[in-house]
Amino acid sequence: MGNRIPVHLNGAFLYDIVMEMTFNGLEQELRQLNLKGRRVCIVTDSNVAPLYLKEVEAIVAACCRETVPFIFPAGEENKNLDTVRGLYETLINKKFDRHDYLLALGGGVVGDLCGFAAATYLRGISFVQVPTTLLSQVDSSIGGKTGVDFDAYKNMVGAFHMPKLVYTNISALKTLSEEQFSSGMGEVIKHGLIRDAVYYEWLIKHIPAIKKRELVILEEMVRVSNQIKRDVVEKDPTEQGERALLNLGHTLGHAIEKLSDFKLLHGHCVGLGCISAMAISMKRGLIPEHELSRLWEIMKQFDMPVTVSGLSAGEIIDLTRNDKKMDSGTIRFILLEQIGKAYVDKTVTEAEMSEGLLPILA
């Protein structure tokens, strides 16, 4: 079925990613998980709760013994161990046991935090992802990476823990702010760049429809992005090799995100990092110059920032050196061999990074 993408590990079925236009189909999917007699804690944030909690809770309640909502204040600053502690307390008070479930209803912050709590509560319980932002629908809900931030360190504490189901309601993207939608486009464009030149061209052709959030076009976009991410994580579930390609734009992007004090959104920083990675690839003679101007133009059309002010190449590179993607003192950089084909390179010099940053430093 076109709206169902199965995810496997070593050839064995793990879970389905299901894409629908409403939440209605969630009931049938949950029934397959046999939640009769189980409790389900619906973890969500203060922005998503007023929009979707009531509807989703009614659907979940029809399939299980008891639902327990856990709502925390929205924002990356709450993706931390204090919030996890509050969630553990709720689970303990409500006597959740090893057979009960968590359900993440929200963006990547909710999904990462809920997944981490599921990975660690009673040494691991089951959870379901119901992603509601573009970034979480195309990226963070798939692949089982969970975690929280610790002090200033992003995603410092975490675990790999696979969901039992990812249920995506494409229509939820209609209520997303322009800024959050364009941030998600950073990861979408990245998928085209690393794995699929045809998809990259398709995205360019459909810019107006995507920006208007035409549901049929969004469904196609989320589906292809999911397939790309699924294909990569199936081959390399714990990031020993190919999965690193998903980090295109992240090496310098993470540093920019941190230096902006997380005021710049994740997907926007990934986009800026993609420009730099492409600029380095261009300097190496791998990518023609017009592709760099084209990426710049596409990002502008998607209302993504193409420059960042107030930062120097020196401070971005310094922070990159400390990034956890450092591998025995070497920075693992993702470069482009061509549009649709990325590779890991450990030879990028600081001089090349400086040059790569030139197009984005205002």
Instruction: Give the containing element (helix H, strand E) for 227.
Output: helix 215-235
149 vs 157: CA distance, rounded Å: 6
Instruction: Classify the C-alpha dihedral 291-292-293-295 as positive or negative.
Output: positive
| Residue 37 DSSP one-character state | T
Give the residue with the Cβ less far from ligand NAD, 277 or 313. 277
Select the residue whose beta carbon is closest to ligand NAD and give its number. 108
- Taking CB under 6 A as the binding criterion, the range among 96-104, 172-180, 290-298, 318-326 that sits at the site for ligand NAD is 172-180
Q: State the nearest-atom distance from the C-beta of 229 to ligand NAD, in Å.
A: 9
175, 238, 322, 330: residue in contact with ligand NAD (rule CB under 6 A): 175
Decide: is 273 part of the binding site for ligand NAD (CB under 6 A): no
| Rg (alpha carbons) of the chain, rounded to whole number | 20
Decide: is 47 part of the binding site for ligand NAD (CB under 6 A): yes
- Taking CB under 6 A as the binding criterion, the range among 64-72, 106-114, 271-279, 315-323 that sits at the site for ligand NAD is 106-114
- Taking CB under 6 A as the binding criterion, the range among 44-52, 117-125, 286-294, 324-332 that sits at the site for ligand NAD is 44-52
Token pair in block for residue 158: 């975490």
Decide: is 280 part of the binding site for ligand NAD (CB under 6 A): no
Contact 90, 114 (CB under 8 A): no
Contact 103, 40 (CB under 8 A): yes
Give the residue with the Cβ less far from ligand NAD, 47 or 225. 47
Decide: is 132 part of the binding site for ligand NAD (CB under 6 A): yes
Contact 242, 21 (CB under 8 A): no
Q: Is 194 exposed, middle or buried (0-12, 13-18, 19+ CB in 10 A)?
A: buried
Decide: is 114 part of the binding site for ligand NAD (CB under 6 A): no
Coil, strand, or helix at residue 19? Answer: strand
List interacting residues with ligand NAD (CB under 6 A). 45, 47-48, 51, 74, 76, 79, 106-110, 112, 132-133, 135-136, 139-140, 143, 145, 155, 172, 175-176, 180, 183, 266
